[in-house]
Amino acid sequence: MKYLLYLTATGAQLWCRDRAGWHLAAGLADGPVWVLTNLPEESLAEIQVPRVFGRDRTDFLTRQLANQFPQTPFRTLLAAYPAGGLMDRLAPPRRTLMGLDAAQKVDAALDSLSAPIAGLWPMSMLLAHIGCKKSLPSALFVVLPGADALRIIYIKNHVPVLSRLIPGVSRPSEQAAEIIRTLRHLENTRVIERTGQQHPLLLLGEAEDLPALLRADRLDLIAPPAPWGKLPASDWLFALFDLALTSPAGQMAPLSRRTQYVANRMRAPAYAGAALCLALGLLAAADNLRNGVADYSKRSQIQDHAQLLTTQLAAAEQQMAGFGVPAELVRSAVALDQAEVESAPSLALQMQQIAQVIGQHDATRLERFDWRILSAGQAACTRGGATTASPAEPAAPDPAAKRLVEVSLELILAANQGERARFQTIVNLSSLMRKINGATLLQDPARELGQEVLSGGVARQQEGSAKALVWCLTLPGVRAAPASHTNPTVNSQS
């Protein structure tokens, strides 16, 4: 339910609006009250404003309001109708001031209210708000006939310039006479030129015989703008009540009168903002608390694990003390063993290299494959009475390799090969073995066959065409690459 205090020259009435409509309030208002005045002391004043901006312009208008209406705090600056160029729209050269020179009467009515005051609007301002619509003529009379008074507003260039309230005028002839008297006054003061043109008039409500009396003096009635349309005089008053409840621009009550209402309006957004800040703070605190609990739990787990490791280490120390061997010596031995295991050459890698060489000769069969790691300074290829031969152009060993691996293999060539093909196969196998990275070929059958004496242009065939040939070479002891790969399988037949 909303309340409106209607203040006239004859007294004040408190109205309330509910779903059924407007009716007089039975008691005191229990909510905000909008105040609407319809007094003769409502007056207008037009001033010229220099081309200043910002705070200088605001200070100038404030001083002009105080100078024009020094006896009342109920004063305001009406909104300017946008017209002219860009500078005129930004800083209009002329402004209209409105004041209510009935401070004592209005203060007495406001003091009688115990509810918050939403604001105060004069009837002249509401009628000007309707008459300044863009759909209406720029020069216009706005007339509101009532049971005990007649309100007349004249608007020129969409700006109100005159407001009159004539009390005790109820008959159509008297109302027409006052309207015509207002027209003559405006013509005498040169506000309206005497050109004989028709003057539009907006009559808010129906009055018997009034349109015919006005038409004789070149006053033509026009239809009210939307959304009001044609309303009876009583309904027009309630329509103005509804317009006041929308709190249009031009409120005239000072802030000291509206403190409670403004505070109540600001309280809800302030509480909402405080609740939002509190919720965000609680979320942030909860997140910090959750992170703190998680960190504390992790720290406890780490401490428990460290304590367990310390206990296990102490138990291991006690067990090792019973062996009669110092713990540091055991650690050194374990570290040395791990280093030896990690530095062991890769048998699979070197078998893959040899298999790639043998695989290029399909008719060649591997009879024996020996692989061993040589100790530092140990001679290679000396077992079984074999003699070490000087390599022919050996490949340079890898300087990063710390160990050497001896590889000895016996190969049986195809028995159906001729002597030249057999010799060429042996030479190719020896050449491919030398090309292995870091390989040094120490025992080479190709070199031994090349030293035999040729008879009749063909080398003497050794005993047993299927005799196994022995190659012996050294390879750098390197580890296999960490990436996983599939090594080819070399079948050894004996």
DSSP states of 128-166:
HHHHT-TTS-SSEEEEEE-SSEEEEEEEETTEEEEEEEE
- pLDDT tens digits along 117-166: 999 999 999 999 999 888 899 899 999 988 788 999 999 989 999 999 99
* Res. 387 pLDDT band, cuts 50 70 90: very low
pLDDT on residue 345: 82
User: Is the sign of the CA dihedral 379, 381, 383, 387 positive or negative?
Assistant: negative
Distance (Å, rounded) from C-alpha 16 to C-alpha 198?
41
Q: Side chain identity at 347, as an amino acid letter? A: L
pLDDT at 323 over 80: no
pLDDT on residue 461: 45
pLDDT on residue 489: 37
232 upstream amide cis, omega within 30 of 0: no
Longest dimension (CA), the chain: 161
Which residue from 144, 154, 129, 127 is spatially nearest to 203, judged by alpha carbons? 144
Structure tokens at 30: 């229990």
Which residue from 165, 194, 174, 220 is spatially nearest to 37, judged by alpha carbons? 165
Question: Whats the size of the chain, residue-wise?
Answer: 494
pLDDT at 458 over 70: no
Distance (Å, rounded) from C-alpha 470 to C-alpha 406?
13
pLDDT on residue 314: 86
* Res. 481 pLDDT band, cuts 50 70 90: low
Name the DSSP letter for residue 257.
G
Helix, strand, or coil (residue 458): strand
pLDDT on residue 400: 44
Q: Are strands 458-459 and 454-455 parallel, antiparallel or unpaired?
A: antiparallel
pLDDT at 454 over 60: no
Cα three-residue angle 219-224-230, rounded to 5 degrees: 110
pLDDT at 287 over 90: no
Which residue from 477, 422, 469 is spatially nearest to 443, judged by alpha carbons? 469
* Res. 306 pLDDT band, cuts 50 70 90: very high
Which residue from 20, 28, 30, 122 is spatially nearest to 76, judged by alpha carbons? 122
Rounded mean pLDDT, 358-373: 88
CB 366 within 8 A of CB 358: yes
- pLDDT tens digits along 63-122: 999 999 999 999 999 988 887 788 888 888 889 999 999 999 999 999 999 899 999 999
pLDDT on residue 451: 63
Distance (Å, rounded) from C-alpha 114 to C-alpha 261?
12
pTM of model > 0.75? no
- pLDDT tens digits along 164-188: 999 988 788 888 899 999 999 998 9
pLDDT on residue 490: 37
Higher local confidence (pLDDT), 458 or 337 = 337
CB 147 within 8 A of CB 212: no
* Res. 470 pLDDT band, cuts 50 70 90: very high
DSSP E strands in 391-482: the ranges are 404-412, 440-443, 454-455, 458-459, 469-476
pLDDT on residue 42: 92
Cα three-residue angle 29-35-37, rounded to 5 degrees: 135
How far CA 364 is from CA of 252, 407, 412, 432, 445, in Å, comes to: 116, 18, 6, 14, 14
How far CA 404 is from CA of 171, 372, 393, 433, in Å, comes to: 133, 9, 18, 16
Distance (Å, rounded) from C-alpha 2 to C-alpha 19?
10
pLDDT on residue 434: 92
Name the DSSP letter for residue 461.
P
pLDDT on residue 491: 36
- pLDDT tens digits along 216-249: 788 888 888 877 766 765 688 888 999 999 999 8
In 386-462, which residue ranges form alpha helices assigned H by DSSP?
419-434, 445-450
pLDDT at 493 over 60: no
pLDDT at 393 over 50: no
pLDDT on residue 195: 80
What's the whole-number average pLDDT of the chain? Answer: 83
Rounded mean pLDDT, 4-19: 91
Higher local confidence (pLDDT), 327 or 203 = 203
Q: Are strands 11-18 and 42-48 parallel, antiparallel or unpaired?
A: unpaired
pLDDT on residue 233: 59
Distance (Å, rounded) from C-alpha 254 to C-alpha 346?
98
Distance (Å, rounded) from C-alpha 286 to C-alpha 413?
82
Higher local confidence (pLDDT), 418 or 452 = 418
Which residue from 125, 144, 132 is spatially nearest to 225, judged by alpha carbons? 132
